[in-house]
Amino acid sequence: MTRIVGGIGTSHIPAIGLAMARKQIEEPYWRAFFEAYRPVRAWLEAVKPTVAVVVYNDHGLNFFLDKMPAFAIGAAHEYRNADEGWGLPTLPSFPGNAAFSWHLIEQLAAADFDLTTCQEMLVDHGFVVPMQLLWPQAKSWPVRTIPIHVNTVQHPLPTPRRCLKFGEALGKAIESWPGNERVVVLGTGGLSHQLDGQRAGFINKPFDLFCLEKIVDAPEVLANYSIRDLIELAGTQGPELVQWLVMRGALGPSVRKLESNYQVPISNTGSGMLLLEKAA
């Protein structure tokens, strides 16, 4: 029987990967940020997931503005990282589980979510930075991975409500896999940030804290926002919150919060972290 052992929401800011590469994690700017991940790593060490389903948005490494699926999923035996221009070291390939991916694709299609299927897929900082943050010591990746991309770049974007529903269908699809996997679902990105335009640098701490609270017990409150609302409240990149909603939907109706953290700013972002377990 395959089980979802938990869900993790985390920002995926490239500067986190740079701080790790430059060994700056003890510096005053970074110390509290990295310290907050210590119990999450201990939880992973104890729970030992075998598969990570990583819900993120591609930022242009794999898809570009000319061809942009709303939802896409990897169905490959491995996923390569590549240089995006942030100065991040290119990480070793991530092992996939193509058979499990195809099971998810079939189940999700049957639940009316038709995904773009990628038998080759490059993974960018949205995927790679959280993996490195969660398993910093890994000589080889201790989980097989299934990347899922949600478009938060090229408008129109899928609505928060659709993303929560997509997550609900994803959770059912994961737990219907006849294998014996322990699955952690990651939702990466957010929280508030705006990297471009007149409001560049915009962060909304009260709204971020509201999201961190509501996503635990009342995710439908966040699902009621439109993408335009999220942009107004959380900046042009604020819609990355939808990846957290997919993660939250996958965990089912009720969850227990084990850890959370909020650090502001990290680079240009109100940086959030949440570790959730399914409530029995």
Q: Which residues are catalytic?
A: 125, 193
| Phi, psi for 210 (deg, rounded to 5) | -60, -45
CA distance 207 to 209: 5
Identify the CA nearest to 131 among candidates 70, 67, 81, 73. Answer: 81
Q: Which is nearer to Fe ion, 147 or 189 (CB)?
A: 189
Site string for ligand DHB, 13-32 (x = CB under 6 A): xxx-----------------
Identify the CA nearest to 215 among candidates 126, 275, 153, 152. Answer: 275
Give me the least distance between CB of 234 and Fe ion, in Å please. Answer: 12
230 part of the interface to ligand DHB, by CB under 6 A: no
Residues 57-96 binding ligand DHB (CB under 6 A) are 59
Residue 251 C-alpha from the chain's centroid = 14
Which sign does the torsion angle of CA 165, 79, 21, 38 carry? positive
149 part of the interface to ligand DHB, by CB under 6 A: no
Site string for ligand DHB, 193-212 (x = CB under 6 A): x-x-----------------
13 contact choice in ligand DHB, Fe ion, none (CB below 5 to 8 Å, kind-dependent): ligand DHB
CA distance 188 to 161: 17
The footprint of Fe ion (CB under 5 A) covers: 189
Give me the least distance between CB of 108 and ligand DHB, in Å please. Answer: 25
CA distance 213 to 210: 5
Residues at the interface with ligand DHB (CB under 6 A): 12-15, 59, 189, 193, 195, 237, 240, 267-269
